[in-house]
Structure 1
Amino acid sequence: MKGDDELASDDESMLQVEKEFHIACKQNKVEKVKLLLERHRVQVDSVNLSGQTALHWAVGSGHDEVVKILIQKKANVDLQDKNGYSLLHCAVRQGHLKIIQYIVDDLFSLKPKDVTKDGKTSFLLAAEYGHADVLSFLMNHGLKLSDVDTAGNTILHLAAKGGYSHVMQELFFPDEESEQQRITKKLIDTKNENGEAALHIAAENGHTECVRMLLESDAVCQISICNKENRNALHLAVKNGDEKLARLLIDKGMQLDAQDEKQKTSLHLAAENNLPIMARFLLKKGCNMGIVDDRGQTALHITAELGFIDVADLLIVAGSDLKVQDKQNKNPLQVAVRADQVHMVDMLIKAQLYLTWKEVRFYYVFILQVVPIAFQSLWCLLF
């Protein structure tokens, strides 16, 4: 179905009176609808280029009186538009529960096998658009929660994408659990065609409460589950700079230094996305700065190459190794030189000078303090 506010006013496949009829039905102009049907004898099932009838518009707009008028005039209740949307799909998408009840109970038009072109059942649409009350109603009428769309998305994927925690609440924490909900909980780690579980989608979109519900339901999902890039929810939260979500995941037991398919840790991702606040958070949590990716680079190498001064400064202060070499046998300073990162080169030179000074100072203290004491002890033993 087209956008909520669109009508095919320039649809050359329709007569002008038919366009007016569609608009009147969408805008709930009851008297005009009656006039067009009775006096102008407009075709009740006239369709636009998208295959939508006036009944589609009335149902999608939630105008129950217009809906009943059209049905009394023998409008075809089984027509689907070119995207495969039936009347029930239109009502579910917009969350018009009163009309959904009328369609299901009075018209007896509940066909579980009816799907849109992208494989959405009425139940999946209720989840996708966040209508928990509609979802509950459909569950009570026996629709299957185990359906998936053409992209492999379950009801949990769709609710997670929209951040609909109230839908999650209906699924995972009902007042009285049904067999349908028990079936849904078994889908908690199901992956779609992109290799994503509901946890990945919720994390990717920053929906912390949905993540919490997935982790705290009695169907508890695998917290370390990975997508096709071998990234877990923490990788996704860190990449997006979502400290609140990252904190939740770590507190729930997420492995801090897990590596993705390119051997990058969360710290690598914070570095390459120039996220100093996230990098500081991970360092405070005790992440391992010495882990290298598939190029043999630490997070400091990455900041050196990209010129991200703030993150590099945090890593240097925290004690990141300035001498470790990547697979090209280059340390962070040499990487910065090659990338022509002038300010980074200056910072790393100063850091190396400071490190050298500390080493020299250590040996100086050792010579002046430890050696004389040792010599004195030896002298006493000998004499």
Structure 2
Amino acid sequence: MSATQEGRSDVVRILLENGVSLNKVAPNGGTALHLACDDGNTDLVKILVSFGSSIDLADQERYTPLMIAAENGHSEVVKVLLENGASVDLTDYSEGTALHIACQEGQLEVVNILLEHHAPIDFADEDGDTPLIVAATYGHVQVVSALLECGASVNSFNLAKWSPLMRAAENGFPAVVKQLIQHGADTDYQRENGVTAVNIACEHGLLDVVVVLVNAGSDIELADDDGYTPLITASQLGLSDIVQFLVSRGANVNARLPSGGTALLTAVWYKRLAVVRILLDNGADIDLCGDFQNWPPLNVAYFSGYTELVQLIYERVSAEKPLSFADIVFASMCAEAHGSVDYSTANAEIDQKLRNGDTSLIIACDRGDVKAVEKLLEKPNNDINLADTEGWTPLMSASDCGSKDVVELLVAKGAIVDQRDQNGSTALQIACQYGNLAVAKILIESGASIDAADEEGTTPLILAATNGYDDMVELLLNKGASIDKQGLKGSTALTLACSGGRLNVVKILLRRGGSVDLFDDNGFNALRAAVYYGHATVVKYLVGKGASVDLASTANNITPLMTAIERGHKDIVALLLAHGVSVDQQRSDGTTALGMACSRGRLDFVKLLIENGASIQLADNAGHTPLQIAVNNGHSETVKYLIAKGAPVVTSNGAGYTALMTEIDRV
């Protein structure tokens, strides 16, 4: 097979004439003919076929020589195989034929040859894809044209009910879309969920495809099963160019979703300013209320927190229209321009939940709007501890955004400081996760549990350490946080700080007595975590403070040195060697650091280890020496170096194979 790969026809002929096995298979199940077809060597293919090579023998993926030649576009090889009886009907592991494969790769000449030899043009693979669907999916317009000219079904669809037109539209191939339409593709065909090709193109932001489809007569008002028209879809995604095109073609700007939503309401909710402007300029009704608590666009805009968006809609409100709660709070946001605000006219019915369970109070807290929060808390129907669907309370929202004033107000009004969300997190954990120090101080002073853990066992200290907030770490420790408290999987604040390379936090935790030797459930302690993620400065600091360089994980006896080799951190390998690490420690399967370096072909590591006294004869539990490991993995330069350093070539492994036998067997 080596001679075949090199294209040496004379050597191949000599081998064949001397009785070499013609159809001997490689580990992947392929034969010499597969290799020759892959290379596109027509002369070799002819020789192998003339000597009786099995022309339709498939490899482990059920690829025949014809499929391999077709995939690579070797048209002359394809001709030779077909002239010698290769079957065009055989299928691979996905039930695709050679024609499917050629169509996927855009091999036009091969496609034409296969069609001339009567390849099944509408045969479907395991997904129901025909060659035309495949060609359309990959945008091969000339292949699509060839298939259509030979009678391929333009309106076929696969098991998922995708047509060729939809696949071309989805992937942004306007030329293919145009070709399919010219051959009678149904532009308004709907999948089981009601989507059409034009809705798919809108969803993917493909204006050029949308233009082709609409110009060909696609119905721009056809909605999917969720009620989304192409315009609503484009509006939600903020695709202003498509929105502009659709409204210019007469799309109904006030079409409604089953929930009452419109393109305008959807665009406002998703903060699509350019789209909102287009819709308003084209007559979108600002009084239509939808599924966002049955609010009109202006109210939705306020709760989006996007001032420019509110202003844009606010300008369209009739002067005679009475102000709503949202109008009034918006005015407070613009107090400098509009003067003081009278909140007394605000809508009192403001504690109904939105789709995600947010209340007006939660939204105001999330934005840190103290005045709005104060006013909302004056209303008796506003429960200060009412959570959304994820368990988040107003206090958690305020802690998340870091609003010290809002947090103080909520605590003073009776907010429960240790209430938990669905994941078991408290407001203090949220403040610590985002580094909101002032908020954390207020919560702790208000009685927040300093070691409260969520469902994964994560404490405020672990969160602060993980994210590198050294001031927060100092605060928590000063207030009595448990320094070595372990999370659900055994991680400590120190281990996670080391994982993230948070040197300042590591220094604080070590100074305050954090344990460097505690292992988590994955076998990581502080040093191994720093080594694994390549944080050399943290490794140097830990070793300088006395961390054991030889302490192996309890899980599989992996040492920091092995971890550094496994991860390819040469600077850390050198650092550990300089600190006297034991080079011949063995992990649970007997492999040494040198064995790991040989397995990966890291000659630089191999040299470092041997220079520092690593044994070249120490074998693993299966009897493999470093030399045999290097041979097994085909690292020739490492093999040469080990032999030059005196590695024994006659030593046998547990199966009785020498390095030489292993190399011969590998070839």
Q: TM-score range by the shorter chain?
A: 0.7 to 0.9
SS of the aligned residue for 1:17 comes to coil
- Residue 463 (structure 2) aligns with: 158
TM-score, normalised by the number of residues in structure 1: 0.80
Deviations 1:97-129 (A, max 9, x none): 011111122xx2221341111111112222121
Q: Secondary structure at the match of 2:615?
A: coil
* CA distances 1:181-234 after superposition (whole Å, capped 9, x unpaired): 13x2xx2111111111111111112211111111102xx122211111332110
- Counterpart-to-counterpart distance in 1, 2:330 and 2:568: 64
Report the more deviating stretch, 231-240 or 140-149.
Answer: 140-149
2:552 counterpart of 1:259: yes
Secondary structure at the residue paired with 1:330?
coil
Give the alignment partner of residue 441 of structure 2, picking from 98, 122, 136.
136
Give the aligned partner of residue 377 of structure 2.
Answer: 71
Q: CA deviation at 1:39?
A: 8.2
Whether 1:116 aligns to 2:421 is yes
Q: Identify which of 44, 47, 52 aligns with 2:353.
A: 47
Q: Give deviations 1:267-314, integer Å, cap 9, x for gaps.
A: 111111122111111111110101111111111100111112222221
Q: CA deviation at 1:137?
A: 1.2
Could you tell me how far apart the structure 1 residues matched to 2:626 and 2:609 are?
A: 12
- The aligned residue for residue 202 of structure 1 is 497
Structure 1 position 93 matched with structure 2 position 409: no
- Cα distance between partner residues in 1 of 2:348 and 2:575: 66
Secondary structure (helix, strand or coil) at the match of 1:352 reads: coil
Displacement after TM superposition at 1:257 (Å): 0.3
Cα distance change of structure 1 residues 79 and 287 upon mapping to structure 2, 3 Å threshold: same
The answer to whether the aligner puts 1:243 opposite 2:536 as a matched pair is yes
CA distance in 1, matches of 2:447, 2:543: 39
**Secondary structure of 1:344's match?**
helix
Task: Structure 2 unaligned segments of length 5 or more: list them.
Answer: 1-266, 272-288, 311-324, 332-342, 649-667
Distance 2:636 2:495 in 1: 38
Cα distance in 2 for residues equivalent to 1:320 and 1:222: 30
- Return 189-198 or 221-230, whichever deviates more: 221-230
Q: Distance in 1 between matches of 2:590 and 2:451?
A: 44
2:302–2:330 contact (8 Å) kept in structure 1? no
Distance 1:194 1:146 in 2: 16
Superposed CA offset, 1:18-65 (max 9, x none): 563243143467972458998895841242221012321221111222
- Give aligned-pair identity as a percent: 24
Amino acid of the residue matched to residue 86 of structure 1?
T
2:596 maps to 1:299: no
Structure-2 separation of matches of 1:127 and 1:188: 15
Q: Counterparts of 2:417 and 2:374 in 1: how far apart (Å)?
A: 23
- Following superposition of structure 1 onto structure 2, how do residues 1-383 of structure 1 map, counting pairs within 5 Å? 8-9=269-270, 13-15=291-293, 17=295, 20-25=298-303, 26-27=305-306, 32-34=327-329, 43-72=349-378, 76=382, 77-105=384-412, 108-172=413-477, 181-182=479-480, 184=481, 187-217=482-512, 220-260=513-553, 261-352=555-646
Separation (CA, whole Å) in 2 of partners of 1:133 and 1:103: 15
Cα pair distance change 1:268/1:47, threshold 3 Å: same
Measured on the aligned residues, the alpha-carbon RMSD in Å equals: 2.8
Q: State the Cα deviation string for residues 128-171 of structure 1 (Å, max 9, x = none).
A: 21112111111222222131111111111111121111101212
- Counterpart Cα distance in 1 of 2:564 and 2:420: 41
Q: Give the residue type in structure 1 aligned to 2:644.
A: K
Cα displacement string for residues 300-337 of structure 1 (whole angstroms, at most 9, x for unaligned residues): 10011111222222112223111111112121111111
Deviations 1:44-90 (A, max 9, x none): 12422210123212211112223234334556133210111111110
What is the distance in 1 between the residues matched to 2:410 and 2:571?
52
SS state of the match for residue 475, structure 2?
helix
Mapped contact 1:130–1:164 kept (Cα < 8 A)? yes
Q: Measure the CA separation in 1 of the matches of 2:363 and 2:591.
A: 58
Q: Give the aligned residue type for 1:265.
A: T
The one-letter code of the counterpart of 1:21 is N
Q: What TM-score comes out, normalization by structure 2 length?
A: 0.47
C-alpha separation in 1, matches of 2:440 and 2:296? 34
State the alpha-carbon separation in 1 of the partners of residues 589 and 487 from structure 2.
30
Matches of 2:422 and 2:453, distance apart in 1? 13
Distance 1:233 1:112, change over 3 A: same
Q: Is the 8 A contact 1:22 1:53 kept in 2?
A: no
Larger Rg computed on CA atoms: 2
CA contact (8 A) 2:362 2:394 kept: yes
Q: Which has the higher contact order (CA 8 A, sep 6+)?
A: 1
**Residue 24 to residue 247, structure 1, CA distance change in 2 (3 Å):** same
More helix by share: 1
Contact 2:293/2:352 (CA < 8 Å) preserved in 1?
no
Work out whether residues 21 and 42 of structure 1, in 8 Å CA contact, stay in contact via their aligned partners in 2.
no
- Paired residue for 2:116? none
Take 2:544 and 2:367, find their aligned partners in 1: how far apart are those partners?
Answer: 45
Q: 1:12 to 1:164 in 2, by over 3 A?
A: farther
- The code of the aligned residue for 1:232 comes to N
Deviation at 1:237, TM superposition (A): 0.7
Which runs of 5 or more residues in structure 1 are unaligned? 1-5, 175-180, 355-383
Q: Say if 2:465 and 2:493, in contact at 8 Å, map to a contact too.
A: yes
Query: Alpha carbons of 1:19 and 1:248: their partners in 2 closer, same or farther (altered >3 Å)?
Result: farther
Q: For 1:80 and 1:286, locate their aligned partners in 2 and report how far apart those are by CA, in whole Å.
A: 56
Aligned partners of 2:386 and 2:393 also within 8 Å: yes
Q: 1:47 to 1:145 in 2, by over 3 A?
A: same
Contact 2:450 2:476 in 1 (8 A): no
Cα distance in 2 for partners of 1:79, 1:7 equals 26
Paired position in structure 1 for 2:212:
none
Cα separation, partners in 2 of 1:18 and 1:123, compared to 1, 3 Å: farther
**What's 1:366 paired with?**
none
Q: CA deviation at 1:7?
A: 8.5
